Structure 1
Amino acid sequence: MNKIIWVNLLHFYQPPAADNETVIEAVEKSYKEIISVLKRNPNVKFTLNLAGCLLEKLDRLGYHNLISDLRVLNDRKQIELTGTAAFHPILPLLPEEEIKKNIEANQIILKKYFGENFQAKGFFLPELAYSPAAARIIASLGYNWIILDEISAFGKLNKLDYHKLYLEKPTGLKIFFRSRNLSKSYVPGTIFNLINKNYSGPALTATDAELYGLRHHDTAAIFEKLLKRPEIQTLTVSEFLSGLKEKVELKPLASSWESTASELKRGAPFALWHNDKNKIQKLLWQLANLAITTVNQHQADANYSWARAHLNRGLASCTFWWASARDFKLFSSISWNPDEIERGTNELIKSIRSLTEANTKTAKITGEKLYLKIKQLIWHKHWNHYWKS
């Protein structure tokens, strides 16, 4: 019998400034179902990335049983939990100290819910946005492996040998490469197709957890049926990597799980969040960098904790993603939402407004000017280009 080794990483995340209703919908349609399936199938193993901001939101919303179930699954080693950045920013676009703050904040949150001795082996870069500088920081904080999209290896798809152990040069971090084409589908259905084609070998996937339920309605219960097939064996990422023997050192390209070959070729790996031709994104990053500098220069301010909280929420990738206006054509519509852009913009300006020290006046005035320009551009673009289009 042919065997498929399915190594599946599920990314649990909702924006830190998301409405309660948005998070509740994801819980009820996706998260509960995934965890229930795992509880009903104790031999199945997955790797989960739980963003710290989501864990805290689940706690505030009263999903204590859900968190308890996650703790039980982790204790019995049915799931492997990764480290990440607590508020889901695009790490390569941030200063080094800001990257460290976000990662360390997530470590504190995971220890709060999974025990003081908890230490993740692997690290999930938000949006799989990789840069050598980010990898260096991740390695320095004690992580052993990272997950990247396959395009980061050679700038093209379908070029990897998934039977080899790739090591990030120069840090030595192990790299788990996801298959993009497989991950860009409803994965259980595609793996069923592989069974029917008598495929034998690894199937390496990483998707948003919301694919299972919220974005794809699995009315035929394909997901759970797949897990009961004798051809399927599931492993955590660490288990899979430990079984690879042939080592290959590699210098990955700066990239994300949405990067295209043409973007990498022209040196624009993070164009989805920072496109020089996108006026709104350019202004958003001017405001974001002003907020980062101003808040970090005033850590003794009486309102620093409030300013920091607003900054964390404003730097979430969604603020910039929703301004990209890209059409992904997969389980979603165009990535344009003026309310979400405005939500993130509001958090960034509030981070500056919150500070009380008199010498923040110049930054406040500069920030307000940027803020007004951004809001004007958002709604001018929306009403003229996307409303009833």
Structure 2
Amino acid sequence: MTIYWAPFLHAYQPPWQDVEILKQIYKECYMPLLSMLERHENVKLTLNIQGCLLDQFAKLNLKESRNKLRHLIENQKVELVGSGKYHPILPLIPPAEVDRQIKLTNSTIMQHFSQDKLSGFFPPEMAVSPQLCKIIKKSNFEWMIMDGIANSDEWPHDYVQQSPSGLVTVFRDTYLSNLISFNNIDAQGFVDQLATMFEQFPDEDHYVITAQDAETFGHHIKYYETSFLGKAFSIIEDRSDIKICFISDLLKKFPKKIGKQIKSSSWSTDGGDLAAKVPYPLWMHPLNPIHKYQYRMLRALYRLMEIVEKCALEKGEDSNFSNYYKTARFFYDESLHSCWLWWASMRPMWSPNLIYKGIDLINKTALNAQLALINLKVGEGDQYYSIVIDNGEKLMNALVDQESKGQHLRTYGDF
């Protein structure tokens, strides 16, 4: 019996991240992590690096990290995957914007690393839905990773599951992944767990996928890239019963079986959330007073931008319209990021200032979209612009009201 371990990491910082904080994370996490991967010969790591983070590295002229990553890719130690460039919760944005976010990521990765094709896909926050599976399949990806909670049964270990749409859906081991993420298991304990978890099937090969934020290693937990990941690689190097592989390798090593429809969920969704029919609780909860206004703003913005996009196709030659449209489009891409929703979740995340950064991007998008339409003398979007601005003001008041209550509501549980 051989156990195949497919480690996965996700690297992301929001596009508006403070430069000094980004430099600190770069020093504590990204560079030590990449250097550690270079040192170990048996490394195979599937990695999502968000497109907006690559742009930030380029703006800060952090060439060493890109060169190290390029070297790791060329030496077949790292495989990259696709995603949404600005880290949106893909099931919650318009399908046209899902397609655009995917294409933006692909073009950014090709620009930095000359990758011919990306076979795998990481949905930000592992937020998935059956409809998203269809979109990802149409975008020519072979597989998509998601949390174990998305599977209707126990996540598979001796075959890979194919969704009804034809996309291979692979599941992280939620239990083991969380033990690692919260520093509740050491490297030796993890390897021992891998070696013994399928003892009842001695004649069959099995696999385990673990997945964490890259920032876990070195930023959230100091020196963890060496004390856990590096040490695990070293221990496994001297064993014959455990092999490290890319997630893409699992599709070649294990048979495919058609599985049930996956559940709409994320890697922060628990059983109580699913029972309450709240699949994305940190980003869209019906009992969250802040999310209510955020989504009123977003839904109106979607409609406003649909009108502007239609005008761009029909009348885009007008220079004044074009300038405002391009500005709106620039801010719109960034405004779909998930962070301003996450910081409003009160579970326990709460930051009025980071929520405000999202409000600012929404308002900039709406303003320039409205100015674009005014230059074409199109009044069709006026009502949506008004909804954005009106609910932005209500949201600002709600932030103050929530803070004044002195409590951050936990918007889940028994109800």
- TM-score, normalised with respect to structure 2: 0.85
1:380 CA drift (Å): 2.2
Report Cα offsets for 1:164-215 as digits up to 9, x if no partner.
211111x111121101111112368445214346526533111100000111
1:195 is matched with 191
Matches of 2:148 and 2:32 in 1, distance apart?
A: 28
Given candidates 176, 201, 216, the residue that maps to 1:182 is 176
Report Cα offsets for 1:87-113 as digits up to 9, x if no partner.
111111111111111111111111111
1:269 CA drift (Å): 0.6
Report Cα offsets for 1:142-166 as digits up to 9, x if no partner.
00000011111127xxx23311211
Matches of 1:62 and 1:385 in 2, distance apart?
A: 42
1:154 matched to 2:152? The reply is: yes
2:75 is matched with 76
2:131 is matched with 133
1:48 is matched with 47
Matches of 1:5 and 1:283 in 2, distance apart?
A: 46
1:16-31 matched pairs, under 5 angstroms = 16-31=15-30
1:331 is matched with none
1:245 is matched with 255
Quick one: percent identity of the two aligned structures? Answer: 27
1:339 is matched with 353
Q: How many residues align?
A: 374
Confirm or deny: 8 A CA contact 2:90 2:132 kept in the other structure.
Answer: yes
1:212-361 matched pairs, under 5 angstroms = 212-218=217-223, 221-229=227-235, 230-231=238-239, 232-245=242-255, 247-299=257-309, 300=312, 301=321, 302-326=323-347, 334-355=348-369, 356=371, 357-358=373-374, 359=379, 360-361=381-382
Confirm or deny: 8 A CA contact 2:359 2:392 kept in the other structure.
Answer: yes
Matches of 1:211 and 1:312 in 2, distance apart?
A: 27
1:246 CA drift (Å): 5.3
1:164 matched to 2:159? The reply is: yes
2:389 is matched with 368
Matches of 1:296 and 1:92 in 2, distance apart?
A: 18
Unaligned stretches of 5+ residues in structure 1: 327-333
Matches of 1:290 and 1:238 in 2, distance apart?
A: 39
SS at match of 1:214: coil
Higher mean C-alpha deviation, range 17-26 or range 369-378:
17-26
Letter in structure 1 aligned against 2:229: F
Letter in structure 1 aligned against 2:346: A
Letter in structure 2 aligned against 1:165: V
SS at match of 1:49: strand
1:226 CA drift (Å): 1.7
1:59 CA drift (Å): 0.6
Report Cα offsets for 1:219-268 as digits up to 9, x if no partner.
77233122111235311100123211252422111111111112212321
Matches of 2:329 and 2:93 in 1, distance apart?
A: 15
The structure-2 alpha-carbon separation of the partners of 1:222 and 1:249, relative to structure 1 and needing over 3 Å to count, comes to closer
Matches of 1:86 and 1:233 in 2, distance apart?
A: 32
Matches of 1:22 and 1:371 in 2, distance apart?
A: 28
1:376 CA drift (Å): 1.1
Higher mean C-alpha deviation, range 146-155 or range 184-193:
184-193
Matches of 1:131 and 1:271 in 2, distance apart?
A: 14
SS at match of 1:184: helix
Q: State which structure, 1 or 2, has the greater radius of gyration over its C-alpha atoms.
A: 2
Letter in structure 1 aligned against 2:189: N
Confirm or deny: 8 A CA contact 2:162 2:256 kept in the other structure.
Answer: no
Matches of 1:194 and 1:320 in 2, distance apart?
A: 34
1:65 is matched with 64
Matches of 2:35 and 2:214 in 1, distance apart?
A: 13
Report Cα offsets for 1:304-341 as digits up to 9, x if no partner.
22212222222211111110110xxxxxxx31111111
Unaligned stretches of 5+ residues in structure 2: 198-205, 313-320, 409-415
Letter in structure 2 aligned against 1:226: A
Confirm or deny: 8 A CA contact 2:9 2:45 kept in the other structure.
Answer: yes
